[in-house]
């Protein structure tokens, strides 16, 4: 019996337990999407390939199995580069399948001809084109396996246009079963006991939990370790919730102090990159001892020479540490000077934020907005967050209580991920945790990158709540009066500040245009009413456009995550 290239691709993906495909169809890949639906893969048609690729990558992080992004040749492929790079730099599994021009037209200037396999190498762990229809299942198995094994990342598969409808006899195809789950490696025993000894001798220890720990589902073991050893911990942004943010040992509100004075730091699936100031002075002590736990050998020793290196799966290695500390029965004293210093700083910072949140002046500031959002959104919702100030202040003000329920701009600092991530999270939630809401909090500039995905959200009836925190610009904006004054000086292209966007833009109308509910709010009361209505309606997508003070910024101390200078 004959089978087409499109059918082989769909069946091979299904055999690898792929559940979700996002993309934009056209010549030559439309038949692949149809074949995927026929074998039970869910296909979500997006409005921009970049957003489709972000969505597929978020599925990889949320489920541990890659999502697929399906795109056409040339420009379609090129629009996925941002998503591939973002996935690989965040260490998330992803499969991108791109159509390419027919083989018999290569070098002739074919429609959308482009060296896609070569271009893909820079962004992917694997960039391949099957040499024949017969090997498609084997190539897909290798790509899925490569995306998940070791340090996860993106893999690209190039499909020549003439392969899609070409037929081959089923008996000649090299079919492969589903790849095995990623093997779990553990650290060597000597490294585990060395690490435990260094920790036991520490005076000012700090555990830093990274999104690698969230990805490896290490939450139960890490919570046990924190409780057993009484260690202060600090989550990186997407690791919030691995241990709940309201755990008494969480020192996120004293971040700078914790990093600057810790004498021993345990890195659990977190990298010493820009987010953690590279582990270097003046942000850290000159003599800080770093214990590094990572799945990737090449990561060990980056920027700081470690006191101990534990190579392996975060969950498995945490369990090794637990066994070691169970033998030693060591616990860090909760009445130490270090704890007093951290608790004092936490209290100080929390009171400061609270003061800003309770300001009654209008327009509202970020803190007031986040205070009300925190009070009214479900505790178990999946939070998607992007923007500059919106993301930074939101991170400190909005707690996470469960792992893998915060998605943001990530290690690559990518703007434009929000709506794609939200679509992916809502699709996964619908299948795995029905009733769990997705709340997507966007700066007005961040929303603009993929605002048309609101149509996708409405088409698939995903009850996502989008909140646009609108300050008329990037970082800061102008109020309507200042804007009018500016225009008197001439052409806006020459006289309006580059960070400005149109004042009082009615983003909520984009949602109502497609049948969702839109709210335009200016006061805390209006915000509360809109939030209550949106949370109560579990069926309809909604967008709340919250006008805030265009000059509202972070509190003067500046959370040292992202200052202007390193954006």
- The rounded distance, in Å, linking the Cα atoms of 402 and 423 is 19
pLDDT of residue 562: 37
Domains 2-172 and 189-344 share a fold: yes
Helix (H, G, I), strand (E, B) or coil at 68: strand
Position 559 scores a pLDDT of: 36
Residue 510: alpha-carbon gap to chain centroid: 24
Cα–Cα nearest to 307, from 320, 288, 321, 328: 288
Give the contacts of 543 (CB within 8 A, at least 6 positions apart).
454, 465, 466, 467, 468, 507, 508, 510, 511, 516, 517, 518, 519
Helix (H, G, I), strand (E, B) or coil at 33: helix
Query: Any residues with CB less than 8 A from the CB of 124 and at least 6 apart, and which?
Result: 84, 88, 96, 153, 154, 155, 156
154 near 82, Cβ under 8 Å? no
- CA–CA separation, 387 and 119 (whole Å): 29
Domain boundaries, the chain: 2-172, 189-344, 359-547
The reported pLDDT for the residue numbered 553 is 78
Give the pLDDT confidence score for residue 560 in this predicted structure: 37
Q: What is the pLDDT of residues 518-561, one digit of tens each?
A: 999 999 999 999 999 999 999 999 999 999 999 987 654 333 33
How confident is the model over 148-168, as pLDDT tens digits?
A: 999 999 999 999 999 999 999
> For residues 250 and 400, is the Cβ–Cβ distance under 8 A?
no
For the whole model, what pTM was predicted? Answer: 0.96
CATH classification for the domain delimited by 189-344, as one of 3.30.1330.10, 3.90.1170.30, 3.40.50.1220, 3.90.1150.10:
3.40.50.1220
- For domain 2-172, give the CATH superfamily: Thiamin diphosphate (ThDP)-binding fold, Pyr/PP domains (3.40.50.970)
- pLDDT < 50 regions, the chain: 556-567
pLDDT for 558? 39
Backbone phi and psi for residue 147, each to the nearest 5 degrees, phi listed first: -65, -30
Homologous superfamily (CATH) of 359-547 is Thiamin diphosphate (ThDP)-binding fold, Pyr/PP domains (3.40.50.970)
């Amino acid at each position: 019996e004959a089978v087409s290239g499109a059918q082989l691709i769909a069946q091979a993906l299904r055999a690898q337990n792929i559940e979700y495909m996002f993309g934009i169809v056209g010549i030559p890949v439309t038949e692949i999407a149809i074949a995927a639906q026929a074998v039970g893969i869910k296909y979500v048609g997006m409005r921009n390939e970049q957003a489709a690729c972000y969505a597929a990558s978020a599925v990889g992080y949320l489920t541990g199995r890659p999502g697929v992004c399906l795109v056409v040749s040339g420009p379609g492929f090129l629009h996925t580069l941002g998503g591939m790079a973002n996935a690989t730099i965040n260490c998330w599994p992803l499969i991108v399948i791109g159509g390419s021009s027919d083989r018999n037209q290569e070098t002739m200037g074919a429609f959308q001809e482009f060296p896609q396999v070569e271009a893909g190498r820079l962004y992917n762990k694997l960039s391949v084109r099957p040499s024949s229809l017969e090997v498609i299942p084997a190539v897909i198995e290798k790509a899925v396996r490569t995306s998940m094994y070791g340090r996860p990342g993106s893999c690209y598969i190039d499909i020549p246009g003439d392969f899609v409808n070409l037929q081959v006899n089923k008996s000649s195809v090299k079919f492969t079963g589903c790849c095995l789950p990623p093997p779990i490696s553990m650290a060597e025993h000597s490294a585990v006991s060395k690490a435990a000894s260094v920790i036991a001798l520490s005076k000012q220890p700090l555990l830093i939990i990274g999104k690698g720990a969230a990805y490896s589902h290490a939450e139960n073991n890490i919570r046990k370790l924190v409780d057993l050893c009484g260690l202060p911990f600090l989550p990186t942004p997407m690791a919030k919730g691995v241990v709940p943010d309201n755990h008494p040992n969480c020192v996120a509100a004293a971040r700078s102090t914790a990093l600057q004075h810790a004498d021993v730091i345990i890195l659990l699936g977190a990298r010493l990159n820009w987010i953690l100031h590279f582990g270097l002075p003046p942000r850290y002590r000159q003599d800080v001892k770093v214990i590094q736990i990572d799945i990737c050998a090449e990561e060990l020793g980056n920027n700081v020479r470690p006191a101990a290196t534990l190579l392996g799966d975060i969950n498995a290695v945490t369990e090794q540490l637990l066994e070691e500390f169970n033998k030693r029965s060591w616990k860090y004293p909760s009445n130490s000077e270090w704890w007093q210093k951290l608790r004092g700083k936490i209290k100080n910072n929390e009171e400061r934020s609270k003061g800003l949140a309770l300001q009654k002046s209008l327009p509202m500031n970020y803190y007031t907005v986040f205070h009300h959002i925190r009070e009214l959104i479900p505790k178990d919702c999946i939070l998607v967050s992007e923007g500059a100030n919106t993301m930074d202040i939101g991170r400190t003000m909005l707690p996470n209580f469960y792992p893998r329920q915060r998605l943001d701009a990530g290690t690559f600092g990518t703007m434009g991920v929000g709506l794609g991530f939200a679509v992916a999270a809502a699709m996964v939630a619908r299948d795995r945790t029905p009733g769990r809401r997705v709340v997507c909090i966007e700066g007005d500039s961040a929303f603009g990158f993929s605002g048309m995905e609101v149509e996708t959200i409405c088409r698939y009836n995903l009850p996502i709540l989008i909140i646009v925190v609108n300050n008329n610009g990037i970082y800061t904006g102008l109020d309507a009066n200042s804007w009018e004054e500016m225009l008197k000086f001439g052409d806006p292209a020459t006289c309006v500040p580059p960070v400005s966007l149109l004042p009082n833009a009615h983003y909520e109308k984009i949602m109502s245009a497609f049948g969702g509910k839109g709210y335009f709010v200016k006061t805390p009361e209006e915000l509360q009413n809109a939030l209550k209505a949106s949370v109560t309606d579990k069926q309809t997508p909604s967008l709340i456009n919250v006008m805030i003070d265009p000059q509202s910024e972070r509190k003067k101390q500046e959370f040292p995550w992202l200052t202007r200078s390193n954006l």
